[in-house]
Each structure stands twice: as structure tokens, then as C-alpha cells.
Amino acid sequence: MESDKIHYVLVTDRSRKARSLRQLYETLVADRADAARLEVSIGEIHGEGGIELRERDRHRVLGLRLQDEHMSPYCQTNMNLFQLLMLDECTEMSIYRAQRAWLLVFRGVASGPRPFGAQGYDLR
């Protein structure tokens, strides 16, 4: 039940998470200086200098707790709070520089809750 749609979180420089994202980006650039830089356009948002995060680095983005900024005027996203909470290391992630902002792009985000329990749902 994963979506093929590109999901994103745009964090402006005025957000309290921007400094952490800048430090993460600079660390990744220093570690992978030879990696190809990606570009992406999502509507009016243009990201450049992108880096695909390896599975071992994805916990750094998850540790930022982007769901804390869900209602912030300095954060823009096309994901709902459930999707932000359900991000894990299996989700493909990229980080980009944008104009006075940082753009995180996610692929493989679940569109809704996954069935669980013996019959595909919980009887509680």
C-alpha cells in the first residue's frame, strides 16, 4: 500500500530544524564529495545539489522529528501527520538545497495504515 507519489518536506531557514538540516547536508557532502548531485522540481519548489541518503544515514533525518514542525508556518509538506510519524529507514530519502530552505524528498511512503492482526485488522 505504498504510494509512488513523491512526498516532500520543505523546511525554510527560519525553522528551528533548518540548522540541523544544514549540518546534516554539509556532513553528507563532505563524506561523499564524489557523489553525483541531483536536482528535482516539485511544483514551484526547485531543489538542487541533492544527495541520496544511504540506509545507514536515514536515522539522522528520522531523529530530527519532522512531525514536530507539521503545523509550523516555516515548514511545508504534502504529507499528513500519520505519514510523517510512520517514516522509517525503509523509506528512500534525498536532501536538497532550495532557495532559503532545505528540501527533503521521500519515496515509498505508506498512503495509509497497514492491516494487522489475524484477519487483517485488530478487534480491540
Task: Name the pTM for this structure.
Answer: 0.85
> What's the pLDDT tens digit per position in 106-121?
998 887 776 666 666 6
Using the 8-state DSSP alphabet, how is residue 117 labeled? S
Distance between CA atoms of residues 73 and 64, nearest Å? 17
- Residues with Cβ within 8 Å of 60's Cβ and at least 6 positions away in sequence, in order, are 24, 53
Burial label for 67, CB within 10 Å (0-12, 13-18, 19+), is middle
Burial label for 12, CB within 10 Å (0-12, 13-18, 19+), is middle
- Strand duo 92-98 + 75-77: pairing: unpaired
> What's the pLDDT tens digit per position in 6-39?
899 999 999 999 999 999 999 998 888 777 788 8
> What's the pLDDT tens digit per position in 53-109?
999 889 999 999 999 988 999 999 999 998 898 898 989 999 999 999 999 999 988
SS3 49: strand
Per domain, the residue ranges of the chain are 7-107
